[in-house]
A and B are shown apart, each in its own frame.
Chain A
Amino acid sequence: MITGGGPIPEVPARFVLRRGLARTHPRRKAVPRHAARKHHFKAKVPLVEIFQNILNALQFGSFYALIALGYTLVYGVLRLINFAHGDIFMVGAYLAYFVAVTLLGIGGLNLGLHMDPGLALAITVPVTMILTALVGVTLERTAYRPLRRKGADRLYVVITALMAGLVLENGNLALLGASRKRFPDMIDKVIWNLHGVTVTNLKVIVIVASILVFLLLQFIVTKTKIGMAMRGISYDKFAIPLMGIPLDTIIVVTFVLGSAMAGLAGILFAMSYPILEPYMGALIGWKAFIAAVVGGIGDIRGAIVGGFLLGFIEIGVVAVFPSTLRDLFAFSVLLIILWLRPTGIFGVAQTTKI
């Protein structure tokens, strides 16, 4: 399991964690739970645990943030809550699975390939992002665009999105059956131990990827003409063609960006938690959507802040209370935030336009 990162120094028992990665830690078995807990309470400042929890929160927050970005991009442009987005994330994870097993030669299409896992991963990431983007664009073309053309009320478009999500879930169920898929190991897990805080290379990759994606999208939206057009559409769809800008192209770009990020989240999630099932996108999708709203939907910074905030609240609750209370507490906190700031953290009140 541990294949790199050098020898791991001995950790005093009191620093061994109660939850998170410690579960898979080889030394974990040697320290019974009650013993660890006793020592834990002796420590005056469980600084190591705090850092460990921050790291875990960042990892969880990264998934929420990556998915929230897709919700916020589409909402920002079309004022449409794309409820199928969580399931696009699920589709992304499955596409990553099929691409990966095909390349590794352990399933999928029998192309006779037996790639090195590192190379396979390098190909899986872009291919999955492209394929997931195609799924998102197909959804836009077949479900949302016809309604838009006919000037359908927003309610019908949202219901269409909900149904599209259910179609994706159940389509997957019909196609692949109820059995779960196990995502193959693509990278050698490296565990670093920084004064008792366990850091895996995968965690670092997830967190860095989400931050890079945020910076990239922020650049696109604020600095490029496509990004300006995306913001312009949200303000006045009618005036966009008057600038010589093809409305549909900008909408397609939006779906490409949002879905590609969901695809990336799908790969990273599958690598972190390698069991795939058709409903994996439902709850995480809802949570990411709520994160986007709390951050201020329509604003990319809001998606990132909301995603990480939800990660921190969830991990923070579990660090203090039994984990069954996690969602209750987490969403109560988010409710209070919305109660104080109904437009979300970065949101501005939308003036209704004619």
Chain B
Amino acid sequence: MHEFGMLMNGVATLAANPMALLLSLVGVALGIVIGALPGLTATMGVAILLPFTFGMDPVSGLLMISGVFFGGVYGGSVTAILLKIPGTPAAAATAMDGFELTKKGMAGVALGTATLSSFLGGMASILVLIFLAPVLAGFALEFSASESFALAVFGLSIIASISGKSVVKGLIAGFLGLLIATVGMDPMGGFPRFTGGYTELFNVPFIPVMIGLFAAAEAFKSMEDPKVRLGMAAALGRIIPPWATYKSLLGVVSRSSILGIVIGIIPGAGSDIAAYVAYNEARRFSKTPENYGKGELGGVAACEAGANGCTGGALLTMLTLGIPGDAVTAVMLGALTLQGLQPGPLLFKEHGDLVFTLFAGMIFCYVGMLVLGLGSLRFMGRILQMPKSVLTPVILALCVVGTYAINNSLFDIGIMLAAGVAGYFMQKWDFPASPVVLALIMGPMAEANFRRALSLSGGSYDFLYSRPITAVLLTVAILTMLLPLVKRWRAERAGVSGGPVKATK
């Protein structure tokens, strides 16, 4: 075990550097706050922090940045569960079941489960990064445009299972999302579509739409009933889930972690996609899939384990190949080069000791995240003890400032408000919001990569079946979409139409 020896050396080096340990904890705490605030993403946090790390030694600086990255991915879940404000796109998936649990008075357990699952998913991904990095590095390169297209279609096939009461309405929401996702610069030709001449619309305003649909819509709804307005929001309950409960989630967590790691390795796919895919697979393998969307701990665990599983996967591609898979790792790549460490094939050879010290520090970051997370939950839960008449204005003010912060743009606040109004009416008439968000994540990825694959193949559609990964992903996607319909059709023939149809395994 060459890696194990290196890691132990790293632990020893790190233990002699208390400043680095302290700074990584500061990074994690900062990351959690940034992740929890709507509109502020881990990318922004890392970028803001970057200039401060110039003067630090490489280990301290890079661990502080890693801490912000890990904390930022996790932090989104806190506000998503408590207030239905998804701090990050991945947390929009967590909010589906997390906020339902809060409504049931189980906010504490939901938060505890999210924290534990984030920790386990993240730890698993760092361990894979340490021990399997060279083996898995080549996998990222297998992914060309056609595979990314297939992954996006696979992601979209989830729409049916997050549709809530009506599949037709879910699909309508999904395709409306896909249509909205085509607003902006055409990914291949650079032609502005449906922008009405507004340069602000050249990029799909994805995060403002998400904040509006989830958080603002929920805030507007709470203004409906004067009796609700003055009442307390909800109880927090116990935080650490009972072992018996969490034990039953371990299968979900390990499966989701693996999915997260794999998706993290793929360039261009990040924690948002991982969270949704992990959610869908958790539901597929669940004995009680009908509970998903109504407050199922498994849903929260899957999203968080998947999202944090991505962190190690994304770092793996960036460190071994020198290619950042997403925006956060792109900034981290800059941070590494500024410290005189050129990520890429030579990094492990030339700076092996330092790399393994960093790995040891990343494990420490995740342990720190677990401790800080569990320790602060009781305090964060206090939010729920505010009367709604104060809480709702605070939520709306946060939505406004968070949306502004993305691009320093008042225009985006207008988009957020419009999405909030739309979301209010959608929720009133049972049109689910999650498919819209999913479509906004996957739609541009599907279109750009389909058209790129077509260009790469010189106009031939062979890539749809001649490339193994593409073919498998597309087949699974089609089955995911069709199987529920077949089951429903068979159940209806058996004469149980109308009532809830249980999926049988």
Q: Do A and B come from one complex?
A: no
Q: Which residues of B contact A (CB under 8 A)?
A: none
